[in-house]
């Protein structure tokens, strides 16, 4: 069992590793990074900063020693620096052996030092680390300065790539980079859904990719992410949750696949990379075909051309909370945003078919027109000047929710300008806040004014009035 002091050392090392660029951090084996993170003291999270002198930052000698070993073994490219650090470690080792010669058998001390300290096979970093007296904070200062220099250069490169001149936009470009990560199980880039609790989710990735990658000019990153998802497409669906280890992906999302097509379109608009579109075209064909003929989670096209999804306890839209046998926000049927995504995807496929000369544009165009007519007829609520949230023949249908904003904000939309204006006005009057959009009209009897308390109370309020930030993107795009 790892003692408290060693756990504190792990915490210090873990906090330091968080300063590294992703390209340097992933050079450290995943198993070792996971060990450091798992074994750290969870309520001890020291914060290290480039803006503060190194002498004023609390970091133990043991942590310094471990960082030194990680540095020379994994991300240091300076051979002279490696040799210097190794000499210091050797000198410290010799001194320690001399001091303890009478108490311990010197033949057993520090044997295979590095392999024991960084012993991945036994899934441990031994407490031998604690006896190395690596007190030269000047060493850490050099690493700090090096990392800071790399960070500044890296951020300058990101800003240059984006082509954005506005200072706030440039800050957002650098901040967006923090959500990009490499997934070991797919060996490709991915987008983290949110700090600190969520890893990468298919739906969240497709929502965030246009802002994090395409608008920032990181088109190669976008391409890498889209290729990863294309590889895992199954039955016309995209993964909602990627596998860990030998586990299979989970596909319980109706929106990720349709948003995937939207991302390919936005990528094409930005790059005019028709070769990539042609590469993705068969995947997009399978998505449309899967939704049209029907696929898992009761996702299928009805006779009116609209998409219906969900059954039983399966929650497949982003409002997916389930509390035991309770669905706080049941949206089985025809969700408004899913059908906005569906129409948008059909129009995109019509455009791509024309560009690639696939001779399928008429088929896609006719189905899109059918969807457009059905949507306007079935979703519009004249008395409320907005759209139904879902068509399910329940009271949930006429609840005023933020999901309708995507019927106005997608590249291809179905309603006339006057109806779109009324939707935006209604969303502003009923759901807008400076921090995001409410998930439910405050006048609704099911509205929860606060989110807090025990988990069941939080879950019941999760999409029943709680303000979410990400729909604000749809609101802005609606203009």
Gap between the Cα atoms of 187 and 430, Å rounded: 44
Nearest 10 degrees: Cα torsion 469, 180, 314, 322? -50
Instruction: Determine the average pLDDT of the residues in 60-83.
Output: 77
233's tokens: 């497409």
Burial 304-329 (b: 16+ CB within 10 A, else e): ebbbbbbeeebbbbbbbbeeeeebbb
Give phi and psi for 380, each to the nearest 5.
-70, 130
The whole-number pLDDT of residue 85 equals 66
The dihedral sign for the CA sequence 130, 132, 136, 139: negative
pTM: 0.81
Gap between the Cα atoms of 401 and 204, Å rounded: 19
The region of weakest confidence among 4-13, 46-55, 189-198 is: 46-55
52's tokens: 């503060």
Confidence tier at 120 by pLDDT (50, 70, 90)? very low
The whole-number pLDDT of residue 125 equals 43
Higher pLDDT, 296 or 114: 296
> Beta strands 467-468 and 436-438: pairing type?
antiparallel
Please state at what angle helix 202-209 crosses helix 256-271, rounded to 10 degrees: 20
Peptide bond before residue 196 is cis, with ω within 30 degrees of 0? yes
Higher pLDDT, 67 or 51: 67
Total residue count of the chain as it appears in this document: 479
Confidence tier at 233 by pLDDT (50, 70, 90)? very high
Higher pLDDT, 171 or 133: 171
Q: Assess whether pLDDT exceeds 50 at residue 33.
A: yes
Would you say 464 and 431 are in contact if contact means Cβ atoms under 8 Å apart?
A: no
Helix segments in 26-128, DSSP class H: 30-39, 61-70, 79-99, 113-117
Using the structure block, give the residue that is written with the tokens 């036994």.
122
Q: Average model confidence (pLDDT) for the chain?
A: 87
| pLDDT tens digits along 95-119 | 655 655 544 444 444 444 444 444 4
Roughly how many angstroms between the first and final C-alpha of the chain, as a whole number?
A: 58
Q: Assess whether pLDDT exceeds 90 at residue 181.
A: no
| pLDDT tens digits along 251-281 | 999 999 999 999 999 999 999 999 999 999 9
215's tokens: 């608008």
């Amino acid at each position: 069992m790892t003692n408290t002091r060693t756990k504190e050392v792990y915490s210090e090392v873990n906090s330091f590793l968080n300063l590294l660029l992703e390209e340097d951090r992933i050079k450290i084996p995943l198993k070792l990074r996971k060990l450091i993170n798992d074994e750290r003291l969870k309520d001890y999270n020291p914060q290290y900063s480039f803006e503060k002198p190194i002498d004023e930052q609390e970091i133990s000698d043991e942590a310094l020693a471990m960082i030194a070993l990680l540095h020379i073994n994994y991300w240091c490219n300076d051979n002279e620096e490696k040799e210097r650090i190794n000499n210091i470690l050797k000198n410290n080792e010799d001194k320690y052996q001399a001091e303890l010669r009478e108490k311990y058998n010197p033949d057993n001390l520090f044997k295979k030092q590095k392999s024991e300290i960084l012993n991945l096979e036994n899934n441990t970093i031994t407490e031998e680390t604690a006896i190395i007296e690596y007190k030269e904070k000047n060493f850490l200062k050099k690493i700090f300065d090096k990392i800071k220099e790399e960070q500044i250069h890296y951020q300058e490169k990101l800003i240059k790539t984006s082509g954005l001149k506005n200072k706030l936009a440039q800050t957002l470009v650098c901040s967006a980079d923090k959500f990009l990560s490499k997934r070991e199980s797919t060996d490709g880039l991915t987008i983290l859904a949110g700090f600190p609790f969520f890893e990468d989710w298919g739906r969240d990735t497709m929502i965030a990719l246009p802002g994090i990658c395409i608008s920032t000019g990181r088109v190669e990153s976008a391409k890498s992410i889209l290729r990863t998802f294309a590889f895992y497409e199954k039955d016309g669906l995209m993964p909602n949750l990627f596998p860990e280890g030998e586990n299979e992906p989970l596909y319980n999302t109706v929106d990720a696949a349709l948003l995937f097509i939207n991302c390919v379109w936005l990528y094409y608009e930005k790059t005019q990379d028709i070769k990539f579109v042609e590469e993705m075209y068969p995947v997009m064909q399978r998505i449309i075909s899967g939704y049209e003929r029907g696929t898992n989670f009761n996702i299928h096209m009805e006779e009116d051309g609209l998409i219906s999804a969900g059954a039983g306890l399966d929650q497949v839209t982003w409002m997916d909370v389930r509390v035991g046998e309770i669905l706080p926000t049941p949206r089985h049927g025809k969700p408004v945003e899913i059908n906005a995504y569906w129409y948008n995807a059909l129009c995109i496929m019509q455009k791509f078919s024309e560009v690639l000369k696939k001779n399928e544009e008429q088929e896609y165009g006719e189905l899109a027109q059918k969807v457009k007519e059905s949507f306007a007829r079935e979703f519009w609520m004249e008395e409320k000047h907005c759209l139904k949230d879902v068509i399910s023949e329940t009271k949930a249908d006429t609840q005023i929710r933020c999901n309708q904003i995507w019927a106005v904000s997608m590249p291809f939309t179905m309603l006339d300008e006057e109806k779109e204006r009324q939707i935006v006005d209604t969303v502003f009057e009923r759901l807008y806040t400076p921090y995001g959009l409410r998930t439910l009209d405050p006048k609704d009897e099911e509205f929860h004014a606060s989110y807090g308390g025990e988990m069941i109370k939080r879950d019941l309020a999760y999409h029943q009035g709680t303000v979410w930030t990400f729909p604000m993107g749809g609101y802005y795009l609606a203009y």
